[in-house]
Structure 1
Amino acid sequence: MTEAFKKAAGGRSTTGRRKRRALISVSLSSNGSS
């Protein structure tokens, strides 16, 4: 999962930033849920 996100972020800075923010949000949510 991280590799795919890293590849997407590497491909586009703007998209990568947005995806990174979403990933952080999902990560926080997942951690809270877990």
Structure 2
Amino acid sequence: MTLERFLILGAILFGIGLYGALSKKHAIAVLMSLEI
């Protein structure tokens, strides 16, 4: 697996995880923790 594919896969997984976190009821608390 090339480095480029690894980075793309990581970005996709990060995006999915971030979307899942923002979809939770405590989205504001998640945003606050991300900004710190």
Higher relative contact order (CA 8 A, sep 6+): 1
Structure 1 and Structure 2 fold alike (TM over 0.5): yes
Measured on the aligned residues, the alpha-carbon RMSD in Å equals 0.7
Percent sequence identity is: 0
In the superposition, the TM-score normalised over structure 1's length comes to 0.58
Query: How many residues are treated as equivalent by the alignment?
Result: 23
In the superposition, the TM-score normalised over structure 2's length comes to 0.56
- Structure 1 consecutive aligned stretches of length 4 or more whose deviation exceeds 6 Å: none
Instruction: List gaps (5 residues or longer) in structure 1.
Output: 1-11
- Bigger helix share: 1
Instruction: List gaps (5 residues or longer) in structure 2.
Output: 28-36
Larger radius of gyration: 2
